[in-house]
Structures are given as C-alpha cells and as structure tokens.
Structure 1
C-alpha cells in the first residue's frame, strides 16, 4: 500500500469550523486514497496569519521548526512515499513540507498554490518569501483554475510540472436530476466581505426582476441580519433556510428551478458544482475562478451591473425548456470532468513518476 503524507497549512482537515477550505482538503484526501493509498495527515499546525503581524509570524516560524524536527524524526524509516501540501500561499505558507522532505528524501508536491511576488514587501514579506520557496521546492503543482496558472507559469522553476486538477465533487455518481419549477436557490455563508458583496449584488438584481418569482437562501453567519435587511423589500418571496446539512441542501437543489450566486472573489465555488450536478441551470457573473467550473456560456460581466444579472435570470425563469437544456448540459459536464474518479486519475497519473509503487 502506498502511504502519502498530507498537510494543509491554512486549516487542518480536522478543524472543527466548517469552511470551503476544510471541505476541499477532505475531498482531496478521499480522492488521493480512492485507489487504496493510505493518506496520513502528518501535522495539524495551523500557519494561517491573516492580520500581517510580524511577531505572530515569527512565533509560527519557530513552531514550524519544532514540527520539522519532530516529523524528520517520526517519519524517518517509514514507508511514506510522497508528501502533498494543500493550499500554500503568502498568508499560510508551507513552512514544514520542503524542509522535512529534504531531510527524508521524499518527493514533494502541492495542490492549489498561489504565487504573489508583490507580497515580498510589506507585512507578510517573510511569509510570502517562504510561500515562494515552497512553490519552488515542489516537483508538481496542481492548479485548480486558469487564474492560478498565470503566476505559477510565470515563475515556474526549471523541471517543475504544472498540472490542471479541475475542482471536483467528493462522489463517484451524480444525484437525481432536478427538472422542477420550484423557487430559485442561492447558497452562501453570511459574513462581511466578499460573501456580503454577492448578497448585495443579488438583492440589486432582484429589484430589477419582473414577474412572480421566489427565492430560497441556504446559509447563515454573522452577517445574517444584514442579508435579511437586503432581502426585506421582497417580503415573503424570499425564504431563509438557514445553515443546511448535506442532505437538506441536496433536497433544496432538487426542488429548485435554477441556481443564482454572483460569485464575488470565489476561488471557484463548490456550490456551482453541486447545483450543476443536480441538473440546475446557473446564473452567475463572469469572474475568474467561477468561470472555470461553469458550463461555458455568456454570463454577465460584473461591470454590466445587476440589470444584466436580472435579465439572465428572467430569461431562464420564462423558458423551462432552456432551463432544462442548460441544466442537462451542465450535469453532463460535471459527470465528465468534476467527479472524484476524474480527480483521482489526474492526480496519480501526474505523481506516478515520483513514486516507486503508485496506487
């Protein structure tokens, strides 16, 4: 059995707080292990420093040195064949993997890393330099979106391979399709920043939406009061579902007529994959990351304003045949490229040359 060391410096897979980053780490572990490999989370040291505090970064550097010493000792002589780091970037650099792999002679790869040379000065300068060095150390970097590839390709070191790993759902099969005419659905955490910006754009679009429409919103968070205030003008046409578990969210997809979420600064957005897997047509803005997981089409640009978003929603609401056609095409795309078997195949095909007995 091939054994793989796995490390996520931004948020450990076992962290109790739900997030897209934690979900993606868990999905990756499942995909890597789908052929029988044993994936071991070798460290829970969280290196995410989001405030630009040099003293805190120095403390984390010291903690990382202790962790390198521990792992170099405990993993020595074991049959670990490969080290995988998920999500290395300037606020959460992999301070552990490259040094540990150098000490043990392990091949080192990364998944979803970003380069940010402009951060080499300023409050994250040391962390940014460490993130760049970790990128340089990787034999293979798997990128999830075309936007990430831009800087990865620009600064790639000789001999390093950059491999596309499309975002994927943690399943081998699709759910039953949704061809119903229920309410529209949106799903997103309710917090200040980009999520609240998406809710604001959505509310502005709804104000331009004609006809008798309904919307369900799945999600919760500290900005719920602000989201409720944004939606208050629409009365009972908007229904808040709260935070849903996986089964309840699946039922929400099943009864929906279409899925809408503007996608401000989404890395890619798992909800888009889930909605399309259920056969829903999606309305979103044409943004980096988001466009990597959407069925190709003419999505409104952010600069086109909420009126353009409303126009696309209205066109789909008024045409059930078009909705079903778009949903069926999106569902086929997910089946082809965005389920776990495709991710497993892409991963092991790329790392096989690095591992003696690949899974």
Structure 2
C-alpha cells in the first residue's frame, strides 16, 4: 500500500504559531501513520484569505494551478494511495486535492470540511465554491462536530460516506491526574482580536463575581496581550500571566489547576478542553455548538451571564466532592471517546476497504 498524501490548507502542521488548528493537523498525521509509514505533507500552500479579497483569492488560485502538475508527477512517481485534507472551508479551501487525486485515480478524503451557502454571492464566493467542490469530490467526509454534519448531510452525493470522528488527543493513555492544592483557575487562549478577545472579556466579567480565595493563571500570548492585561488589571496579583507555553509547560499548568475556564466564543471545538479534561481538570464553558461536542455536560453553562459562570466556577472551586466527581467524569469522557485508539478504529475501518479498491 502506497503512502498517504496529507494537506492542511489553513495551517500547516509545521506552522510556527501554536494553536488547536496546528495541533489537530499533527494529530491527524499521527493517526494516519501505519506500520511505520508516515503520511507525506505534500504542500505548504496556505490558501487563506482572511478578508474576502478577490485579488488575494485569484493569486492563490493561480499558485495552486501552478503547483498541481508537480504534485501529480510526484504522486505518480511515489505511488500515493490516498489524499487526505484537513479543514477545507470558505476562507481556506482545498485548491489542490480534488484535482490531484482525480488525476491519479486515488481516493480523496476530507477531515472537518464545511459548507457555508451564505458565503455564496459575497466576497468569498469563489472560495466557497471551491470549498463546496472539494466536499463534492470527497469519497469520505469525516466530521468532528454535529454542527458540521448538518450542513454536509444535505448535500451528500451517491456513494459518499459521512463519518463522525470525535476530536481526539494524539495519545493512547490518559496523563497523570491533576492534584491541585490551591483554588487555581486556568485560562488558555491566544490573545488576538475577535472571538478570542471576546472570550477574555467574558472571563474578566465573570471574575468580578467570584468570592473567596482564588487565583488565575493565563497561558497564551498574542497581539492583544495589552488588551487582555487591561481586562485583568482590576484583579491585581490574583492573575498570573504565563505567556506562550510548550507541551510540557502546559501539562504542568493543568496539574496546578482546580478548574479550566474558557467560554468558547465561536470555537470549532477546542483542543484545550480535551487536554484539560484528560488531566482531570473540570471545565467551565458556555454551552455553545462545537464546545458541547468535547466538554462533559456538567461543565456547560447554558446561562451566558457572568453571575451564572461565576456560580459554576465556585461550585467546582469550593466543593471537594463535586470537584472529585467532575474530574472523574472529565477523564472518563476523554478515555472513552477522545483518545488515539478510538480515533484509529473509526478512521481505519473506513480507509482500509477504500484503499484496497484502488
């Protein structure tokens, strides 16, 4: 069986900036590794247009067209058996995989592809059409969340498979369970404008409703660091900024945490939720689409007010039995649904027969 070609149009697994997007791309490459054969990252083309600029899209389309013949030749020479793309959507569609896989006569599969009809006719019209064409070309569409499945299911072609793959950590076993000795809330998120800064604003409001002895550690950095520091300024020494952490440092932060707090404004799902829960750190988050696919139900707060979020935090911080139960529920959730073993079984049950047909 030949090698798998892997491509991530939004963010390469080699991208220098840490994020859940980059981590999931790396996780998928590990998932697709079998019998010592590692998937090949076949392109670093980042087809990302943040602002809906027609000229940017045209330039990226031209770059893709220029790269396609080289990829086809490489695929023939190396005997690629399958093309796998991670996260094709209207801002960063897969401009390579459908054409290359068709030319090579190999299966094309897509992880976390999305359709957004509301983008047709607008500034991302050309890219949304490419994203939908990529969905149409896929032999298998693996979706991470229920929200994505809804849009995909209504447009399935004859013979296409739509398969639920819960988001997963690239590990076989749970890490050591956290045993915090203080009332520490852990926050982790990039500091940038938009949804991330909105989550930080919600956190700052909720902290104002907390009582008792507590402190916050914030892992993350970014261009809006000053804005986040200003939001947290009223809480003085209770807030400690950790900066950008590597995997080992992040694991140490989970071990100190009594609760993980991240509202999750417009999160696709959020890898940090899985990481925290794997360590036995209960999560408090707003009950939002995507977030509810990866967070234990008791950690979801339907009422978005700062009062309600603070009340949920205080329950975990102050009640030892609740904390114990929630920590175990969190670990059970990850153990049963979100580790590499379960993900491998789901994916390879689909890919094995597909690859044997070629």
- For the aligned pair, the TM-score class normalised by the smaller chain equals over 0.9
TM-score normalised per structure 1: 0.96
Give distance in 2, aligned partners of 1:78 and 1:204.
55
Q: Which residue of 1 aligns with 2:179?
A: 179
Q: Contact conserved, 1:177 with 1:254, CA < 8 A, in 2?
A: yes
Q: Which residue of 1 aligns with 2:288?
A: 287
Return the offset for 1:69. 1.2
Give distance in 2, aligned partners of 1:2 and 1:168.
25
Give distance in 1, aligned partners of 2:83 and 2:194.
34
| Structure 2 unpaired stretches of 5+ | none
Give distance in 1, aligned partners of 2:144 and 2:131.
18
Deviation track 1:103-150 (CA, whole Å, cap 9, x = no partner) reads 110110000011011111111111111110110000100000111111
| Structure 1 unpaired stretches of 5+ | none
Give distance in 2, aligned partners of 1:339 and 1:35.
19
Q: Which residue of 2 aligns with 1:203?
A: 204
Return the offset for 1:94. 0.9
Deviation track 1:19-60 (CA, whole Å, cap 9, x = no partner) reads 221221111001110543330111111111112111121111
Q: Which residue of 2 aligns with 1:194?
A: 195
Q: Which residue of 2 aligns with 1:162?
A: 162
Return the offset for 1:90. 0.8
- 4+ residue runs over 4 A deviation: none
Q: Contact conserved, 2:2 with 2:78, CA < 8 A, in 1?
A: no
Give distance in 2, aligned partners of 1:99 and 1:163.
23
Give distance in 2, aligned partners of 1:170 and 1:58.
36
Instruction: Specify whether residues 78 and 34 from structure 1 end up closer, same or farther in structure 2 by C-alpha distance, changes over 3 A only.
Output: closer
TM-score normalised per structure 2: 0.96
Q: Which residue of 2 aligns with 1:251?
A: 252
Q: Does 1:230 align with 2:231?
A: yes
Aligned residues: 357
Give distance in 2, aligned partners of 1:118 and 1:251.
43
Aligned residue for 1:76, secondary structure, equals helix
Q: Does 1:75 align with 2:75?
A: yes
Give distance in 2, aligned partners of 1:319 and 1:15.
41
CA RMSD of aligned residues (A): 1.5
Give distance in 2, aligned partners of 1:221 and 1:15.
15
Q: Contact conserved, 1:179 with 1:324, CA < 8 A, in 2?
A: no
Q: Which residue of 1 aligns with 2:356?
A: 356
Give distance in 2, aligned partners of 1:252 and 1:61.
42
